[in-house]
Amino acid sequence: MIIFKKINKVARKALFAAFLGFATVGTTFAGSLDWNVGVTSQYLWRGMSQGSGAATSGGLDYTADNGFSIGTWVSNVDFGDGTSYELDGYFGYSFGPISVGYIYYAYPDGEDLDFSEVSISAALGPVELGVAVIADSDFGADSGDDPYFFLDTGFTVTEGLDLGIHIGYYDYEVGDAETDYGLTFAIGDFSFGIIDSSRDDSDPYFIVSYGFSGSL
């Protein structure tokens, strides 16, 4: 079991701010700086709704030629407690089929919601297998808690139509384990998804999304 040293809240916020600053200067390094913008009828994260309606999002990612990447992403959310948006910062490194990463989920106008995760994944042909665990949190979860195992794959059905398949398994430290799964069909810049989970109160979500991206 990998044990990650707990980082205090002030240090994590400073580190997160450094990520965002670094992500904006990627043009000084050999690599690519890409942006993305999207809108979706429902923002879901691991089968869980992050709001009561449509969400808009945007991101900026720098990928170096040596496999290092860093980026940031923002979206509106609505948890019913006054929290209005999520702002993420992340970095990672890929070597061959293996990728490792760190992500900080920040909710600037929320109360004790921030947390971070570390992850490792492997690409086996068209299939990606991985696991993410808590690195630190504002709400009491400890390092190594709540591992999330996931499998993602996708392929082209016919020209202009791609199919994505996702299965995830949350092994909570406290509470029952949960599984989420989904199918996504992509046609050009549009995607249509069916997403559900094993939660007792969960009904399938039918999602329509539109997104576009480019390079700077």
Helix, strand, or coil (residue 14): helix
Does 82 score more than 50 pLDDT?
Answer: yes
Does 15 score more than 70 pLDDT?
Answer: no
Higher pLDDT, 1 or 24: 24
Question: Lowest-confidence range among 17-21, 31-35, 59-63?
Answer: 17-21
Q: Which residue has the tokens 């990612």?
A: 61
Question: Lowest-confidence range among 68-77, 158-167, 195-204?
Answer: 195-204
Structure tokens at 93: 């490194």
Which of 186, 145, 151 lies closest to 6, judged by CA? 145
pLDDT in tens, 154-187: 999 999 999 999 999 999 988 889 999 999 999 9
Higher pLDDT, 9 or 61: 61
CATH classification for the domain delimited by 9-211, as one of 3.40.50.920, 2.30.30.60, 2.40.160.40, 3.30.470.20: 2.40.160.40
Q: What is the mean pLDDT of residues 136-153?
A: 89
Task: Name the β-bridge partners of 171.
Answer: none
Domain boundaries, the chain: 9-211
Mean pLDDT score of the chain: 88
Distance CA 156, CA 133 (A): 31
Does 44 score more than 90 pLDDT?
Answer: yes
Q: How many CB atoms lie within 10 A of CB 171?
A: 15
pLDDT in tens, 108-138: 999 999 999 999 999 999 999 999 999 999 9
Helix, strand, coil shares, percent, the chain, to 5: 10, 55, 35
What was the pLDDT predicted at 30? Answer: 77
Indicate if the alpha-carbon torsion angle 93, 97, 98, 99 is positive or negative.
positive
- pTM, whole model, 2 decimals? 0.85
Does 29 score more than 60 pLDDT?
Answer: no
- Cβ–Cβ under 8 Å, residues 117 and 102: yes
- Cβ–Cβ under 8 Å, residues 193 and 206: yes
